[in-house]
Structure 1
């Protein structure tokens, strides 16, 4: 029986843990709890574990009974309970009670509880309950009252919405608690003196009444009877233990007949009354309080109320219906007027249009056959509405747009095919385009000219512009609103911003299998573009052919595209962070224009050609925390001059050529610090000429050629505190002349050739080469072929090299 209760083990664990807390010795006083200290302690704390099956719910209950104050004839106690039901609801009961022996025959008791329940629908209910009882060895008399908070709770899963006349209405699902009372009379039916343990049989009869006066909530009233077979002081559990087998039956018109089987096991808690066995009369003092185990709940639907569309908040009244048989459907649509609601029903077939549907301001076009969430205007109850069949609205003329939107208009749930553009708008704001499928347009699935501010959400743009090199969605100037959750697939271009994005959010969209680029942007001067995915497109995942001057571009993913993952032009400001380029045919991230500012951080490039490629001059900006790994060429490649930029905390590992390559001049104001190049197949760091800046605290290890390779003249700047370890060639390779600058405090360890290889210190050099360290390199610690630095000879040290440990 208990196996039917999935959370019963949780109840046991919960109350066992509670007992350990309550019974644990005080950490501050070193004393036991009060009820373990009293010399005249008679009534002991205990756990009751109960499993119930067969009634309204299968239930597991844990009860902790704690005497708080007592003598032989009175007891003040706490009764703490936890209940878990098989419908995933749960309840806690927190009670205090008092019992007093009136004479040698009767015990009078009173108690109060605070109850909290989480229903199966996740609602929280609270109630106060109280009761009185009169007990003797033979008789039980008790009555209880229950007073919950009566405010209704929403149950949206029970809400319903439907078309009533020309209005869409809602009946919201509600859940309420019932106030009520119950009573019972019990009698000892039989004792079994011949048995080795103390056993008795008791029977109870009573009734209950629960009600809530709200419409639709019927009363629950009826009889209740119960029989209990009790065994006390069992040898394997000790004095104070109890096992109860019980069966209960009750009936009311709302729930019908309910038969419940119950098993309760009592485990006494340790105390100085361990050896005492209570008399039958004393045993009644610790009988658990008998009450309804849960706050009584019921569900119903509330009154009919007007609905509004959750997506837009538009009230759904005075509805016009259009289907394939509607004569002059375009005229009917436009004639419905401002702020009207038009329901398109596809039950009669495809709705063809040769002139297109033109919106009024504030007008809603709502598709049948598509479940949409609507909200009760009064209660806020949410329900799903679905009417008729989803329509296909087909534009039969490829020079006419299928729908033309207006300010504050909305189009929801349509299947739109054909036409010049599936949806067109010009300088519109406050509009909503949601849950539509738009396909087969000659040009764009949706084309929005001018300044655009609105919501475009959960649409699918498919196979648009395939003969005209056009797009799933094209927007000219996006200044605010949200473009989220859309899919762009099998178009020529997925998403196209033809002029500027200066505000709003473009997020959680997916572009895949488009002929050319997944996402195309021109200028970005504001807004947030984040968490978009572009994969398996014929060219770039994300293509930028203008300037990024502000805004945030973050946490986007480009994978398996046939050109670049992210193809940028120039950047003067803004933030590019947390993006991932994975397994694209060309570079993961490429910049083909100049960079003069902004932040480029925490981006990842894996399994591309170059991980990060920068084609033009960089004269500012911060590049930090980026990772390039497993790319087919360089991890990072700066092809032109860099100056006044910061490159710090980046990692390049296991790339097929260089980890980090600077292909032209490193100039004044450049900071290259705290970067790592590990296990690359060529050099860890590869520099052309260095004419200024600071290169410090970088780390090269396990690269298959040099840790740091300088291919051209070292003309100036500071190169300090770098570490080169276990590279296959030299730790530091200066193949071209060192003319000026400071090379100091660098370390070369365990490299397979020289620690430091210097071809020549030029004859008129002004360089400082000092305080470097070379240890355990296979060839020379310092291999200087010609010339000497102006400063530093004699300060460079090492050990364990094949030769030339010092310089």
Structure 2
């Protein structure tokens, strides 16, 4: 085409096609949008541009691949073959972002011939820019005693394709059907000429002009990921000139659809049919110099064994187990690896690894190489190296080596009664040893470490169906991430281990005892899952300075954690639930801490201290157990800052001494919040005790202190004390309990109830009976309802007894009532209202009533002083009482005690209007 011709060309001379479609098969699919836009020329001869974008179905096939194409072409209509024909040529720029994230570019060139009955197309593809990307390597080349690598590449391919098609004659009212045949040929440019070639066939059906259904078959499934591809496309005539004139570019589409069949001239704007994808190949290149390295960066030197090997230990000529071990011991390189190929190794004697000359010895099952990106073509990486041993034989033994040893990847089975171990390690005095990714079953001990100075690392193993999963005796070990289950004695058994032992992240389930430690010092048990063991989840005996932190212990048949005869143990941040015994049971535990644990739904106590000393229990959340915290016969226990709720009982102290219970939140327990029986010197301080039965109960407890507690809303008494001498109940806030705020019965020696705030309790405020030497002093007692009024003392004896300096108001029936002979009532400040009498004395002999202040507010039938029965006064010590604002009802009751009062005490009182 000449420039003179172009100068007369009309812009956008013809309506092109705007197409959108989808193609797919059983492994991939993509969608695309394509536009063919004539830009210059006439209706029968024009230049066009053709942009196209396609996206692979990432959401279904997890692919990042997408393509962009930009074409420039020319088409010419020829008035030949009766109905006319179209010839054209095109140039394209294609760019692909592959699934691996690599970017490829290519140029495309094509020619086409379109007519009513025959179509022909041919296209060429020429990659440029970066045509190859390194994608990694795999070690898959056995070379004697070594393994070499093959490198992988993703490369673009140059090539061509072509097709010829014919229209099938049948009634055009049914649409248009065409059949195509052709082929393709592609080859990589850079690595060895990988070729993608084959034949293709295609059927194209248009039931209406704008819809094209397509189905293609390929004799090479690598072309599109399958031997077939199906697709659908909708094409609409798109008049860009109308769009520039602010008109509908799709105007006339209905008429266009109805115009059947489509004249050849109307195909001038249809989509270019070509391969829109930059073809790529995954190529491989062998690198014999790149040998597999171990974790230290040294080349592996493999002595290869097989079940029936008789050779020299190469991959081509494997040795047997015994000869392979002997050959391996002679290797002087820094790494001597004994590699077991897949198969069944039936051993009547142990595989003993000792006496090596190398600095590092690896005992590897073939499967263990998978993590090192190894896949030798002669072996299936998923096949196992299985070691079967007979009666009373250690499968693999490591003794006395002065090097680093690694044992990995084996399936080790005992096939008869066996009192030995799957892997046995003893007298290991230097270097390191690692046991990982093995499956061991049927032994007395799956892994045994006996009397070694160095700590083996035992991780990622499956140890099941043995007597004991792991046993460490007179040695240390790092034990983590193992699956230890269904062993009928112990999951992990530790004897006499010290600071280098570390048990972490293991799944220890359905054994007898999960973790058993006897004689452990200075080590950590951390974040293990210990569940469904038939006895204790964890049993700690004769140990010290252990950290038991962050474990889950649940559904065990006895206790979650049992600590016996141990000291300096920290049990912290564990979740302990639904065990059939106690959550934590500490028996003769000393100088230890139990803190920040969550302990729920255990059948017995959440925490049970027995005969222990100097144990701190703090910051735990304890709920839905039979008892929250139970302490029996312990000394110097510190129970503080715990949340204890929804248990049968909150805290239960039995025969303890010097126990401190402070700052706990104790609520909604079925029975008592705090229950103390027996023992000496219990201090209950600054606790919040609400909505239990009794808030605090003390029985037969000597020298106790209950102070600064907040006790409210309990179903019975706030504080109940029975037969407990030498007590101090002070500075508590006790309110809204259904019983008395404080009930004291059968107490002896000196019991002091002082400075408490007692309000709104439903049976009474302070009730003391059948006791001696009770001091009720400086309490604030108000608005208590029920039969026991504000303060009620009954049969209180002892020269030290007194009711003094209390402030009382609004209490029902009476502020103070006494049925005791030896308790002076003095210096109390009492408001007398319509709620009840101020002071009621009944059957008191030698009563001392002095310096009380009684203030009347509007009163009904109640008296400031109410006297009944045989009450008489000690006139020498009584008097100086003051009655404010009484118009009447200053005193009342039975005639005899009233007369006694008037004649002996009243002259020394003051009645102030």
Equivalent position of 2:906 in the other structure: none
Aligned counterparts, 1:182-581, within 5 A: 182=160, 195=173, 208-213=184-189, 217=193, 219-220=195-196, 228-230=204-206, 242-246=210-214, 262-266=230-234, 273=248, 276-277=251-252, 287-298=270-281, 302=285, 305=288, 343-344=317-318, 359-362=329-332, 370-371=341-342, 405-407=356-358, 408-412=360-364, 435=385, 437=387, 439-440=389-390, 444-445=394-395, 446-449=397-400, 451=402, 453-463=404-414, 472-477=423-428, 479-500=431-452, 502=454, 505-515=457-467, 517-522=468-473, 528-550=478-500, 552-562=502-512, 564-581=513-530
Whether contact under 8 Å (1:443, 1:465) holds in the other structure is no
Where structure 2 has 5 or more consecutive residues not aligned to the other structure, the ranges are 1-13, 79-85, 257-261, 367-383, 743-760, 767-913
Take 2:542 and 2:635, find their aligned partners in 1: how far apart are those partners? 22
Take 1:186 and 1:443, find their aligned partners in 2: how far apart are those partners? 75
Aligned counterparts, 1:689-700, within 5 A: 694-700=638-644
Equivalent position of 1:150 in the other structure: 132
Deviation digits for residues 439-482 of structure 1 (CA, Å, limit 9, x no counterpart): 24756331322555221112344449978766641233375342
Are 1:784 and 2:753 an aligned pair?
no
Are 1:647 and 2:627 an aligned pair?
no
Whether contact under 8 Å (2:717, 2:737) holds in the other structure is no
Whether contact under 8 Å (2:539, 2:561) holds in the other structure is yes
Larger radius of gyration: 2
Q: CA, structure 1 residues 411+99, in 2 after alignment: closer, same or farther (shift >3 Å)? A: closer
Whether contact under 8 Å (1:452, 1:476) holds in the other structure is no
3-state secondary structure, aligned to 1:573: strand
Whether contact under 8 Å (2:39, 2:47) holds in the other structure is yes
Choose which of 729, 734, 739 in structure 2 pairs with 1:796: 734
Take 1:724 and 1:149, find their aligned partners in 2: how far apart are those partners? 74
Shift of 1:248: 5.4
Deviation digits for residues 560-579 of structure 1 (CA, Å, limit 9, x no counterpart): 434x3211134543431122
Equivalent position of 1:759 in the other structure: 699
Q: CA, structure 1 residues 538+192, in 2 after alignment: closer, same or farther (shift >3 Å)? A: closer
Shift of 1:631: 2.7
Whether contact under 8 Å (1:744, 1:769) holds in the other structure is yes
Choose which of 617, 629, 634 in structure 1 pairs with 2:577: 629
Whether contact under 8 Å (1:584, 1:608) holds in the other structure is yes
Take 1:325 and 1:723, find their aligned partners in 2: how far apart are those partners? 71
Deviation digits for residues 361-415 of structure 1 (CA, Å, limit 9, x no counterpart): 34868678x34xxxxxxxxxxxxxxxxx8665665xx9x969864434555559x
Whether contact under 8 Å (1:243, 1:263) holds in the other structure is no
CA RMSD of aligned residues (A): 5.3
Shift of 1:283: 7.5
Whether contact under 8 Å (1:211, 1:218) holds in the other structure is yes
Shift of 1:554: 0.7
Structure-1-length-normalised TM-score: 0.67
Aligned counterparts, 1:61-210, within 5 A: 61-65=30-34, 78-83=51-56, 92-97=65-70, 111-118=92-99, 126-131=103-108, 143-147=123-127, 149-151=131-133, 172=150, 177-182=155-160, 195=173, 208-210=184-186
Q: CA, structure 1 residues 287+95, in 2 after alignment: closer, same or farther (shift >3 Å)? A: farther
Take 2:54 and 2:627, find their aligned partners in 1: how far apart are those partners? 69
Are 1:736 and 2:678 an aligned pair?
yes
Equivalent position of 1:683 in the other structure: 627
Shift of 1:484: 0.3
Deviation digits for residues 16-38 of structure 1 (CA, Å, limit 9, x no counterpart): xxxxxxxxxxxxxxxxxxxxxxx
Take 1:194 and 1:539, find their aligned partners in 2: how far apart are those partners? 84
Equivalent position of 1:34 in the other structure: none
Shift of 1:759: 2.8
Deviation digits for residues 525-568 of structure 1 (CA, Å, limit 9, x no counterpart): 6x741022333435322111113324531122333434x32111
Q: Which moved more, 1:99-108 or 1:790-799?
A: 99-108
3-state secondary structure, aligned to 1:549: coil
Deviation digits for residues 720-778 of structure 1 (CA, Å, limit 9, x no counterpart): 13223142x222212236636352241231x3x42321236746x5x34224223152x
Where structure 1 has 5 or more consecutive residues not aligned to the other structure, the ranges are 1-40, 234-241, 372-388, 415-433
Deviation digits for residues 252-285 of structure 1 (CA, Å, limit 9, x no counterpart): 99999x9967441328799984862367899868
Shift of 1:663: 1.4
Shift of 1:601: 2.4
Choose which of 37, 47, 50 in structure 1 pairs with 2:23: 50
Whether contact under 8 Å (1:140, 1:187) holds in the other structure is yes
Equivalent position of 2:863 in the other structure: none
3-state secondary structure, aligned to 1:608: coil
**Aligned positions, number:** 674
Structure-2-length-normalised TM-score: 0.61
Shift of 1:83: 4.0
Q: CA, structure 1 residues 629+194, in 2 after alignment: closer, same or farther (shift >3 Å)? A: closer
Take 2:655 and 2:511, find their aligned partners in 1: how far apart are those partners? 36
Shift of 1:787: 6.1
User: 1 or 2 for the larger relative contact order (CA 8 Å, sep ≥6)?
Assistant: 1
